[in-house]
Amino acid sequence: MLIDYAPILVLLVVVALFALGNVVLSELLGSRSRAIGKADAYECGMGAVGSARIRLSIHFYLVAVLFILFDVESLLLIPWAVAARGLSAAGHGPTVFVEVLAFVLVLAVGLAFVWRKGGLEWER
């Protein structure tokens, strides 16, 4: 029974030797360029300006949470919409429809709350 796992063990050894060989070869054959700006932080093609410890408005976080909220909503509603015909043919249509309606209603109440509080206004 243990002999059945021999090909997997051989594959793991080959993969480990290949990975180790690549690391060793890159250390031996790779260039040793140590430029002045090589260790600097790099993002979006612009150099770092100012401190990373700046205070951001809570509005940025609210927008992120709203994006996640409606992203999850669409991820759950699309499969339901695809399966709706099969669910109604199986006799589960009204039950599933009421459940999805409750789900959308909770999200609509959340959207109305955020809208009323001004969470959707970019400029304040």
Q: Cα angle at 75 between 70 and 76, to 5 degrees?
A: 100
Nearest Cα neighbor of 124 from 67, 63, 71 is 63
> Across residues 49-70, what is the average pLDDT?
79
Whole-number pLDDT of residue 93: 75
Whole-number pLDDT of residue 110: 83
pTM over 0.85? The answer is: no
Higher pLDDT pick, 16 / 87: 16
- pLDDT digits 0-9 by tens, 66-120: 888 888 888 888 888 888 778 777 777 788 888 888 988 988 888 888 888 877 7
CA-to-CA dists, residue 95 to 65, 83, 84, 99, angstroms? 30, 14, 11, 6
Query: Does residue 31 surpass a pLDDT of 80?
Result: no
Query: Does residue 23 surpass a pLDDT of 90?
Result: yes
Residue showing tokens 């260039």: 31
